[in-house]
Amino acid sequence: MPDTTDSPIVLRLSGITKRFGTLVANDAISLELGKGEVVALLGENGAGKTTLMNILFGHYVADEGTVEAFDELLPAGDPRAALDAGIGMVHQHFTLADNMTVVENIALGTQSPWSLRFNRAAARKRIAQLSQDFGLAVDPDRPVSALSVGERQRVEILKALYRDARILILDEPTAVLTPPETEALFRTLKMLVGKGLSIIFISHKLGEVMAVSDRVLVLRGGRLVGERRTAETTRKELAALMVGQEVAAPSVAPAKRGEALLVLESVSTAPSASGSRLDQATLALHAGVITGLAGVSGNGQSALAALIAGTERPVSGTMRVAGEPVSGWSPRAALAQGIARIPEDRHAVGTIGDMSVTENVISERYRDRRFSRRGFIDWKAARAFAEELIRDYDVKCPSPEARIRLLSGGNMQKLILGRALDPDPVIILANQPTRGLDVGAVAYVHRRLLEARQKGAAVLLISEDLDEILALSDEVCVMFKGRISPPSPRGARSIQELGEMMAGQGLEAAA
């Protein structure tokens, strides 16, 4: 990365304060961004990073403070002014229309509403040039619904460049990317910076922050608590700044392997809309054991998770839970067997955004005697349970009545975790349980899963993060094209070997 110490200042935020009721999301934050500089904005979930960027981009209006871009004061709450000033933002959750093509998504809103004809040829030509200049290959005529996650992100970046962005804000850009897609993104960022763009890179992943940034700004509790030149700091120091204390990895005691609580024998499922399926998959989950499942996204992990959660049924093979073959398998049957799930997508599957925290935490058990009285929900008991989870899992939340969509991703994940682990489950399906979480929240989730394992639960950890798989798992399996390799004990295989198996190499030998 270039030395930007003496670069012209292209962006200046001064004394930004934002309150939501009694919650102070941003507290007098000031920062500067130089031309051709990458500044990483680091902090725990709920630290105020996204709120600050939404103020910069005009989605929110600050209670105090100002924003200047290229020495011009930006009017508050005006996204069009931010766009016109050359500020582009790529959100963590993409804002694309699935039923439109790439070129239509990128050009949408860039011409006068009074224009009677969309100049598709001119738009395609410009997109092709931008794609070539910045290494963002994508077919302009494909519908967005047919694109991979990595391709959708390229479209979002192209949208910003198409509007002549000179400052690019990337909010958790790698949260849903595979390692190869992440590497491709980093190559693109290097090209963007080389052409004079300035970037604010919001992330929880310390390794990525160290790899791409020139400076790091750390937020904690809505305040700016630290600023470091990336070359002069360490991951350990940044982690301590984020959470206010040193973060220690949880210790993993030797497993006490118990009986097989869930067994799949040559199980196949019908293909889903995305093509994901199980193909004669064999797997055993044992009491007191964390089984890690590694694999590149799209190789059947979603089908396996759906099967265990009861939203999918086998079309062939045998599935046994607690020693008995399953019949009439459903989500209710899975819950009755003590299967708890931490779903892959906390927004689309794990929660209902416009329902309250209380409603969400009892959503899978509202018929339990604990929350039901003669067919009616006992809201007093439900609220008490929500308050208990908020306290025990250190959830930053205005109240149990707050709409859950107002919470940060990490706090939402803590509630899902609490809902899953109370009462003590027999089998835990943990599907990407730490995706998009900060280092402190990751350590917390890991500690809770290890505690459940020590109590005798069988845990299936599905993750695309090999470091997470190797850190927690007592045994590791690899999934490729719907099939599952036999388990390998902890430490038996290197990251390189697992990576090769994830690509389909060596699976026959492993069998």
Q: Does residue 486 have a cis bond before it (omega within 30 degrees)?
A: no
Residues 6 or more apart in contact with residue 125 via CB below 8 angstroms: none
CATH architecture of 9-243: 3-Layer(aba) Sandwich (3.40)
Tokens of 207: 């390794």
The DSSP code for 454 is H
Check: CB of residue 458 under 8 Å from CB of residue 451.
no
Asked, colleague to colleague, whether 9-243 and 260-338+425-510 share their fold, the answer is yes
Residues 6 or more apart in contact with residue 434 via CB below 8 angstroms: 413, 441, 442, 445, 446, 463, 465, 468
For residue 203, give the nearest of 239, 236, 231, 167 by alpha carbon. Answer: 239
Give the pLDDT of residue 1: 40
Give the pLDDT of residue 178: 62
CATH code: domain 260-338+425-510 is 3.40.50.300
Give the pLDDT of residue 115: 55
CA pair distance 54, 61, nearest whole angstrom:
8
CA pair distance 204, 247, nearest whole angstrom:
14
Give the containing element (helix H, strand E) for 386.
helix 379-392
Give the pLDDT of residue 55: 94
CA pair distance 307, 37, nearest whole angstrom:
47
Between strands 339-342 and 324-325, the pairing is: unpaired
| pTM (2 d.p.) | 0.69
Give, for all 511 residues of the chain, the pLDDT tens digit: 444 456 799 999 999 999 988 889 999 999 999 999 999 999 877 788 889 999 998 999 999 999 999 999 999 999 999 999 999 888 766 778 888 899 988 988 776 544 556 778 888 888 988 888 887 888 888 888 887 777 888 888 888 888 888 999 988 787 666 667 778 888 888 988 998 999 999 887 788 899 999 999 999 989 999 999 999 999 889 988 988 877 666 778 888 899 999 999 999 999 876 567 899 999 999 999 999 999 877 789 989 999 999 999 999 999 999 999 998 899 999 999 999 999 988 888 889 999 999 999 999 888 888 888 888 999 999 999 999 999 988 888 889 999 999 887 778 888 999 999 988 899 999 998 987 777 777 888 899 999 999 999 999 999 877 888 988 999 999 999 999 999 999 888 887 788 788 877 766 544 4
Alpha-helix runs per DSSP H in 228-356: 235-243, 301-309, 331-336
Give the pLDDT of residue 113: 47
Give the pLDDT of residue 175: 66
Give the pLDDT of residue 263: 97
CA pair distance 428, 334, nearest whole angstrom:
11
Give the pLDDT of residue 449: 93
Single-letter amino acid code for the residue at 14: S
Give the pLDDT of residue 151: 81
Give the pLDDT of residue 6: 64
Q: Count of CB atoms within 10 A of residue 297's CB? A: 16
Give the pLDDT of residue 3: 47
> Helix (H, G, I), strand (E, B), or coil: what is residue 206?
helix
Domain boundaries, given as residue ranges, for the chain: 9-243, 260-338+425-510
> Helix (H, G, I), strand (E, B), or coil: what is residue 379?
helix
- Compute CA distances 163 → 56, 82, 135, 159, 494, whole Å: 17, 11, 17, 7, 45
Residues 6 or more apart in contact with residue 276 via CB below 8 angstroms: 298, 299, 300, 301, 302, 303, 482
- Print the SS3 string covering 394-458: CCCCCCCCCEHHHCCHHHHHHHHHHHHHCCCCCEEEEECCCCCCCHHHHHHHHHHHHHHHHCCCE
CA pair distance 123, 160, nearest whole angstrom:
14
For residue 168, give the nearest of 69, 104, 96, 88 by alpha carbon. Answer: 88
Give the pLDDT of residue 475: 95
Single-letter amino acid code for the residue at 399: S
Give the pLDDT of residue 9: 95
